[in-house]
Amino acid sequence: MNGPVLLSRYAENMLWLARYMERIENLARLIDVNETFVRLRTVMNGWQCILDINTDSDTYFLRHEKINGREVLSFYVLDRDNPNSIISMALAARENARALRPIIPTEMWTHLNVFTNFVRDLTLADIAINHVSSLCARIKEGCQTHAGIMEGTLFRDQAWLFHQIGKHIERGDQITRLIDIKYQALLPEPAMTGSEIDASQWTAVLRSAAGYHAFRRLFPNDLTPASVVGFLLKSHGFPRSLATSLRQAHHAVHLLRSDYGFRDASEGLEHVENLRNLVTGVPTEEIILAGLHEFLDGVQDGLASTYNAIARTFWPFD
Amino acid sequence: MKTDKGSDTVPLFDGYRHGGFFCELTNDHGAKDNDAATVIRDRLAGMTSGVLTERARSAEAELYNLGITFTVYTERTSIDRILPFDLIPRVISNPEWVCLELGLRQRVTALNRFLSDIYQDQEIIRDGVIPADLVLKNPNFCRAMIGFRPASGTYIHICGTDIVRDDSGRFLVLEDNARTPSGVSYVIENRRMMRRCMPDLIADLDVAPVEEYGGNLRRILAEVAPEGISAPQIVLLSPGTYNSAYFEHVFLAREMGVPLVEGRDLRVLNDRVYMRTTAGLQPVHTIYRRIDDAFLDPEAFRPESMLGVPGLMRAYQAGHVTLANAVGTGVADDKAIYAYVPRMIRYYLGEEPVLENVETHICAEPEALAFTLDNIENLVVKPVGESGGYGMIIGPHATAAERDAFRDKLRDDPANYISQPVLRLSTSPTLCGSRVEARHVDLRPFTLTGKSSWVLPGALSRVAIREGSLVVNSSQGGGSKDTWVMAS
């Protein structure tokens, strides 16, 4: 089951196309939930936390003096000098897709083209605070359409597997950041744990990951930090949980080795396996006691190592 | 949206004037009432400009969304522009096409024979048909090619021939493009667009299909692969996504089902070419390269080129890889050589040219020089070494003083100049705003040559969108039309 050869450059572009689209969707989710937090008025550092999560404070303060919703939103949606803005990432996704045009379906390219043009035409009026939620919804929809076109039309050879790997590495990374936004930035005072505010914030996190209703079905009477964090990290059924992302990434890397005979894929596989053990091996309560932020940092490092191993194996030339 | 209700309901050809030029659609081609042009004209006449404007708008939106664009870069941003596309087709009758096809094969055959000759025995020079200096001192004459014979003796695998039509309806060759001609993707995309937007116009007409280009290109590239390779790996080598013709590179790679590579994807080891894949280095046998000679190989040509592949010329000369087109074809499509192509045809093939050149006076020849000096006010005089219109004079537009100054230059160095009459390009009805007006068009058919030649039954018709303009280039606001070659 070898199929056509795949240029190394295409493999790299495919992985990054998937990463950018996943990152755009998650940023839209993050902005959406953050906007909700800000409206709760119980949050001291408002828009600061989104900068912290993405470690973007330095970049931001290069050209901004203070933090407010309008400027942070502009920084994350419209600012072409910010490589992590929606517009920059949409353009980057399209550049990857442009390079991939020989092997991706026309429908996929057309959609990315339309999506990028939509993002490129956004103005300050579109990020007015009362429009943020609907804007985020449209951006999410754009990313989901991409995923749907991928699922329905992209030829299933190794190029597809690299897309899968990119998507799930990124999704895994992003869920750890979403948990961190709540844990690290929103609730510096442990005393508030278990309060009503705490509960509503956790609910917002779950909603932003589209996991609230599933969580409720699983834990009708148990909305605690441990249950929510456990759900987001370990649920096997929830499509955006870390465990699910790792399982999918593992499956894709494994297929590169088994079906395409790439023995060197083993190195990447090992990194994913270590991460899976890390996530399943320790109960959530213990993770929290030992320091959730440090744990999440460790997961992010592990995902970066996985990416590096894949890059070394499949596009080693640069 | 529309304010001019009145003109929306006016039949298309009301008020159409072709202004004395040969019109591709409304002139009498000497054919019968039921020929395709008449049918198409009658069908169009039944439409209103409002209908056509609306369809044109949706066609342009579709081209934009499909990303069938070329990219214009400014300092900070890149803008994707579509090539303006006109929904009124340009029609070529079957007898006209049969003649064009014959002429194109003949011309490309002679050009290939010429290249083979000048890089090997140089008989045409010895026999005094073409001056030695014109060839050997030509900046496009490639010394690295002397004594090297490419597979099947073919140099120009892909040729785009620029053709114009004069007032009498005669097709004349204006230029041969024998290096890396572009535009064929628009021929095929325009047809797809026409089938979608104008199904009622093309219905039941016997228009020759253009969709077989990719398959034929692949076939001829396989034919010229190095000997002994049974299943050659073909690739298309592009300068990359920032090249203005990148869309076409993608298009052709897809139509052929071959990898689209950039220089950085290729590597030469022991004079053999490989591509970098997820499974390691894989051999490559034929390269359809869309990179100019000068940038192909930094070891052999421009050392600063980042687009090329170090060592590619070594692999080529060792016969381990075929390049299409061959290196050094530029000498055959040069302005100076162009004037000699009719003589070349007679010399190599012993035939009269089926397609004439635009009347060209080679000032190196005393009679032609005298004629040019006497008639400069009616002529375009061009230096042979330059491109892009530099150093030329358009007689009718020049002042008496400019003409005198140019005569002096001509007398000083006559061999550096050719002269041609001012062209009167044919026109074709074209939607301009909400009106149909006459606009000048040219024609670029494509000829593929492996072991033998095949001409795509269709062509790029470029149209000068500005009134009265003769400039059809896309970089200067030109657009395109679908070209309907009638199969019967």
**pLDDT of B130-153, one tens digit each?**
999 889 988 899 999 999 999 999
Residue of B nearest to A317 (CA): B276
> Do B306 and B383 reside in the same domain of the chain?
no
> Do B227 and B318 reside in the same domain of the chain?
yes
> Do B236 and B282 reside in the same domain of the chain?
yes
Contact present, B422 and B381 (Cβ < 8 Å):
no
pLDDT digits (tens, 9 = 90+) for A274-289: 999 999 999 999 999 9
User: What's the rounded mean pLDDT across residues B469-488?
Assistant: 83
How close, in Å, is residue A314 to chain B by CA atoms?
Answer: 5
Q: Give the pLDDT of residue B4.
A: 46
How close, in Å, is residue B71 to chain A by CA atoms?
Answer: 12
Distance CA B194, CA B202 (A): 8
User: What's the rounded mean pLDDT across residues B74-81?
Assistant: 61
Q: Give the pLDDT of residue B5.
A: 46
Residue pairs between chains A and B whose CB atoms are closer than 8 Å: 61
Contact (CB<8Å) B278/A106: no
Q: How far is CA A173 from CA A13, A242, A288, B274, B407, in A?
A: 19, 8, 18, 36, 74
Last residue of a domain, one of B401, B421, B441: B421
Residue of B nearest to A11 (CA): B278
Give the tokens for residue A106. 């026309």
Contact (CB<8Å) B278/A6: yes
> Do B249 and B114 reside in the same domain of the chain?
yes
Q: Which of A186, A142, A123, A160 is nearest to A21 (CA)?
A: A142
Q: Give the pLDDT of residue B279.
A: 93
> Do B370 and B245 reside in the same domain of the chain?
no
Residue of B nearest to A263 (CA): B279
Surface-to-core class of residue A316, CB atoms within 10 Å of its CB (0-12 exposed, 13-18 middle, 19+ buried): exposed
Q: Give the pLDDT of residue B386.
A: 59
> Do B338 and B364 reside in the same domain of the chain?
no
Share of chain B above pLDDT 90, in %: 68
> Do B345 and B398 reside in the same domain of the chain?
no
Contact present, B186 and B477 (Cβ < 8 Å):
no
Q: Give the pLDDT of residue A317.
A: 66
Q: Which of A124, A62, A54, A65 is nearest to A89 (CA)?
A: A54
Q: Give the pLDDT of residue A124.
A: 93
pLDDT digits (tens, 9 = 90+) for B203-215: 999 999 999 999 9
Last residue of a domain, one of B371, B393, B421: B421
CATH code of the domain containing B324: 3.40.50.11290
**Is B363 part of a structural domain of the chain?**
yes
B3 — pLDDT class (breaks 50, 70, 90): very low
CA angle A10, A15, A21 (to 5 degrees): 120
Q: Which of B30-39, B72-81, B174-183 has the highest mean pLDDT?
A: B174-183
Q: Give the pLDDT of residue A171.
A: 97
> SS3 for B356?
strand
Stretches in chain A below the pLDDT threshold 70: 1-2, 40-45, 184-194, 197, 317-318
Give the tokens for residue B149. 């014979």
> Do B272 and B369 reside in the same domain of the chain?
no
Looking at per-residue pLDDT, the higher value among B283 and B476 belongs to B283
Least confident of B219-223, B453-457, B465-469, B481-485: B465-469
Q: Is B306 on the interface with A (CB under 8 A)?
A: no
> Do B128 and B266 reside in the same domain of the chain?
yes
Looking at per-residue pLDDT, the higher value among B336 and A117 belongs to A117
Contact present, B209 and B457 (Cβ < 8 Å):
yes
Instruction: Please count the structural domains in chain B.
Output: 2
Contact present, A108 and A146 (Cβ < 8 Å):
yes
Residue-range definition of the domain harbouring residue B128: 99-158+208-349
Interface residue of B63, B278, B282 to substitute, partner A, most A CBs within 10 Å: B278
Looking at per-residue pLDDT, the higher value among B63 and B328 belongs to B328
Chain A hits for B245, Cβ within 8 Å: none
Surface-to-core class of residue B366, CB atoms within 10 Å of its CB (0-12 exposed, 13-18 middle, 19+ buried): exposed
Last residue of a domain, one of B404, B421, B438: B421
Helices (H), A41-157: 48-53, 57-63, 69-77, 86-100, 106-120, 132-153
Q: Give the pLDDT of residue B192.
A: 93
Q: Give the pLDDT of residue B185.
A: 93
Whole-prediction pTM value?
Answer: 0.90
Average pLDDT, chain B: 90
**Is B94 part of a structural domain of the chain?**
no
**Is B247 part of a structural domain of the chain?**
yes
> Do B326 and B369 reside in the same domain of the chain?
no
Surface-to-core class of residue A259, CB atoms within 10 Å of its CB (0-12 exposed, 13-18 middle, 19+ buried): middle
Contact present, A111 and A149 (Cβ < 8 Å):
yes
Is the preceding peptide bond at B325 cis, omega within 30 degrees of 0?
A: yes
Residue type, B190: N
Distance CA B438, CA B154 (A): 40
> Do B373 and B239 reside in the same domain of the chain?
no
**Is B239 part of a structural domain of the chain?**
yes
User: What's the rounded mean pLDDT across residues B33-55?
Assistant: 86
Helices (H), B285-415: 293-296, 312-317, 335-338, 341-349, 366-375, 400-412
Q: Give the pLDDT of residue B357.
A: 96
Beta strand B379-383 with B266-269: parallel, antiparallel or unpaired? unpaired
**Is B154 part of a structural domain of the chain?**
yes
How close, in Å, is residue A158 to chain B by CA atoms?
Answer: 9
pLDDT digits (tens, 9 = 90+) for B377-417: 999 998 876 555 567 888 888 899 999 999 999 999 998 89
Q: Give the pLDDT of residue B1.
A: 43
How close, in Å, is residue A7 to chain B by CA atoms?
Answer: 4
**Is B305 part of a structural domain of the chain?**
yes
> Do B111 and B231 reside in the same domain of the chain?
yes
CATH code of the domain containing B377: 3.30.1490.270
Bridge partner list, B62: none
Chain A hits for B65, Cβ within 8 Å: 110, 113-114
Instruction: Please state whether A113 falls in left (phi above 0), alpha (psi between -120 and 50) or beta.
Output: alpha
